[in-house]
């Protein structure tokens, strides 16, 4: 029987459309799109695969999304899934699922994934390791927390994304400075966390009804906050070929349990976690949505499988075949420093000589391209090989050799 799927895609962004296309390519699907754009804005290749469209002007407005979904539900004769890729949409979609009785994450579980303070409270209640934290609405609370926990601390919005407005605070004077610039209040509280020293990683899980069916993980070189703080750093992400050994035993069990206690339903989760310098673990955050930062492509390359398609099959049809991992894979992000636009990309010849045989895909920054606001920069190169060390070395060489000149 056909599945009735509604996708909330407010701006029809390429990063969302790749997931929409994966759903659209499945057999026996009635696909409805809720968007800020009119139906004419749906790309030509998708149009014939879309059965219904509803335009709204605010995809964060529960009533608007519910009205649009109700319209499609009436047309299709029911709704099996309500999907949206963007992090900001998760709570709205949870509320709409609750109102219309659609299976999947409801509002309460969505809040566990979206509100980082609540997430940490739930994780700690279940004995799962994470950084000490405090949600503060007064300056005195902030100072008290820092005195108890010690510097450095991290300050961030309770429901931020992309490491925006996230700061490392090293001493009392930096704290006072931060609090003057971002005065916390009951309406806009700040989240303070113990600064976890160690290496940072991601962990992706395919879940069905909260049970983890499959996982993958990556190493971040270095931590995103360090990349944010140092504009000259070009970030790398590595998915090793071997991730089933005892060195990851703790994160495997902790992550599976975290998915359960936070209330995951069916889909792909993207966790970030630290290996502290003493060897212990700390969960950083968990998103109830597929990862960004090219990680879907990296996973696809490592398994020689289209993971967008695997994700769509799992979410819509509930089926997933765990593929063998054939390669290590990774991304080197290309990022200019000063200036507003890309002028030129240097070092490509030598990069090609040293790592060209490992490159599977590249999106090079184009002259004239506007500087990105993200620490991922203006372009990337994806590489893969059977040997993890070869990929790790290639990533390092790529970000050393390739330089993006800005003007």
Ligand X SMILES: Nc1ncnc2c1ncn2[C@@H]1O[C@H](COP(=O)(O)OP(=O)(O)O)[C@@H](O)[C@H]1O
Binding site for ligand X (CB under 6 A): 131, 154, 156, 160-164, 166, 193-196, 200, 223-225, 272, 284-285
Q: Which does 359 bind (CB under 5 to 8 A by kind): Mg ion, ligand X, none?
A: none
Q: How far is the CB of 54 from Mg ion (least distance, A)?
A: 32
Of the two residues 154 and 236, which places its CB atom closer to ligand X in the complex? 154
Q: Are 3 and 82 in contact (CB under 8 A)?
A: no
Q: How far is the CB of 162 from ligand X (least distance, A)?
A: 5
Of the two residues 160 and 323, which places its CB atom closer to Mg ion in the complex? 160
Q: Are 50 and 33 in contact (CB under 8 A)?
A: yes
Q: Which residue has the tokens 């990069």?
A: 351
Q: Which does 223 bind (CB under 5 to 8 A by kind): Mg ion, ligand X, none?
A: ligand X
CA count, 13 A, side-chain hemisphere, 116: 28
C-alpha angle with apex 162: 272 to 176, nearest 5 degrees?
95
Q: Which does 225 bind (CB under 5 to 8 A by kind): Mg ion, ligand X, none?
A: ligand X
Of the two residues 267 and 287, which places its CB atom closer to ligand X in the complex? 287
Q: How far is the CB of 322 from ligand X (least distance, A)?
A: 27
Of the two residues 194 and 272, which places its CB atom closer to Mg ion in the complex? 272
Of the two residues 130 and 345, which places its CB atom closer to Mg ion in the complex? 130
Q: How far is the CB of 363 from ligand X (least distance, A)?
A: 22
Of the two residues 95 and 200, which places its CB atom closer to Mg ion in the complex? 200
Q: Which does 120 bind (CB under 5 to 8 A by kind): Mg ion, ligand X, none?
A: none
Of the two residues 60 and 161, which places its CB atom closer to ligand X in the complex? 161
Residues engaged in binding Mg ion (CB under 5 A): 272
Instruction: Kindly give the pairing relationship between strand 29-35 and strand 3-8.
Output: parallel
Q: Which does 378 bind (CB under 5 to 8 A by kind): Mg ion, ligand X, none?
A: none
Of the two residues 271 and 299, which places its CB atom closer to ligand X in the complex? 271
Query: Which token pair is 348?
Result: 């490509």
CA-based nearest residue to 260, from 212, 330, 308: 212
Q: How far is the CB of 279 from ligand X (least distance, A)?
A: 16
Q: How far is the CB of 225 from ligand X (least distance, A)?
A: 3
Burial 33-49 (b: 16+ CB within 10 A, else e): bbbeeeeeebeeebeee
Q: Which does 217 bind (CB under 5 to 8 A by kind): Mg ion, ligand X, none?
A: none
Q: Which does 376 bind (CB under 5 to 8 A by kind): ligand X, Mg ion, none?
A: none
Q: How far is the CB of 97 from Mg ion (least distance, A)?
A: 24
Q: Are 178 and 169 in contact (CB under 8 A)?
A: yes
Q: How far is the CB of 97 from ligand X (least distance, A)?
A: 23
CA count, 13 A, side-chain hemisphere, 143: 10
Q: How far is the CB of 7 from Mg ion (least distance, A)?
A: 24
Of the two residues 98 and 226, which places its CB atom closer to Mg ion in the complex? 226
CA-based nearest residue to 334, from 402, 280, 269, 279: 402
C-alpha angle with apex 18: 12 to 19, nearest 5 degrees?
90
Q: Which does 374 bind (CB under 5 to 8 A by kind): ligand X, Mg ion, none?
A: none
Intra-chain end-to-end CA distance of the chain, in Å: 56
Residue 195 gets which letter from DSSP? P
Q: Catalogue the long-range contacts made by 16-20 (C-beta closer than 8 Å, 24 or more residues apart).
A: 16/84, 16/85, 16/86, 17/43, 17/46, 18/296, 18/308, 19/83, 19/85, 19/290, 19/308, 19/311, 19/312, 20/46
Q: How far is the CB of 43 from ligand X (least distance, A)?
A: 29
Of the two residues 167 and 320, which places its CB atom closer to Mg ion in the complex? 167
Give CA 11 to chain center in angstroms: 18
Quick count: other Cβ atoms within 10 Å of Cβ 305?
A: 16
Q: Helices in 196-262 by DSSP H: which ranges?
A: 224-229, 249-262
């Amino acid at each position: 029987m056909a599945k009735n799927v509604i996708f909330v895609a407010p701006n029809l962004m390429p990063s969302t459309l790749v997931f929409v296309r994966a759903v659209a390519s499945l057999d026996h699907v009635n696909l409805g799109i809720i968007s800020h754009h009119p139906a004419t804005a749906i790309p030509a290749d998708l149009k014939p695969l879309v059965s219904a469209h509803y335009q709204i002007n605010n995809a964060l407005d529960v009533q608007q999304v519910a009205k649009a979904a109700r319209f499609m539900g009436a047309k299709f004769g029911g709704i099996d899934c309500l999907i949206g890729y963007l992090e900001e949409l998760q709570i709205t979609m949870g509320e709409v699922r609750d109102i219309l009785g659609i299976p999947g994450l409801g509002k309460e579980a969505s809040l566990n994934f979206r509100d980082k303070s609540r997430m940490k409270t739930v994780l700690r209640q279940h004995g799962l390791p994470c950084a000490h934290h405090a949600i503060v609405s007064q300056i005195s609370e902030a100072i008290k927390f820092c005195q108890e926990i010690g510097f450095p601390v991290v300050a961030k919005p309770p429901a931020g994304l992309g490491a925006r407005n996230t700061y490392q605070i090293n001493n009392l004077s930096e704290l006072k400075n931060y609090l003057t610039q971002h005065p916390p209040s009951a309406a806009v509280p700040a989240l303070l966390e113990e600064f976890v020293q160690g290496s940072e990683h991601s962990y992706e899980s395919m879940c069905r009804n909260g049970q983890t069916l499959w996982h993958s993980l990556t190493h971040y070189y270095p931590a995103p906050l360090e990349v944010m703080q140092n504009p000259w750093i070009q970030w790398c992400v590595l998915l090793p070929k071997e991730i089933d050994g005892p060195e990851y035993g703790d994160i495997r069990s902790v992550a599976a349990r975290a998915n359960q206690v936070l209330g995951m339903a069916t889909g792909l989760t993207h966790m970030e976690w630290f290996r502290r310098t003493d060897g212990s673990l700390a969960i950083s955050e968990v998103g109830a949505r597929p990862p960004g930062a090219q990680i879907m492509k990296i996973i696809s390359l490592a398994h020689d499988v289209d993971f967008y398609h695997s994700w769509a099959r799992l979410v819509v049809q509930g089926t997933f075949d765990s593929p063998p991992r054939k390669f290590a894979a990774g991304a080197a992000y290309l990022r200019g420093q000063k200036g507003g636009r890309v002028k030129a990309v240097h070092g490509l010849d030598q990069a090609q000589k040293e790592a060209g045989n490992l490159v599977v895909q590249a999106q090079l920054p184009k002259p004239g391209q506007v500087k990105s606001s993200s620490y991922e920069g203006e372009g990337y190169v994806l590489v893969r090989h059977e040997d993890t060390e070869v990929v790790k070395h290639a990533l390092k060489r790529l970000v050393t050799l390739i330089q993006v000149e800005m003007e």
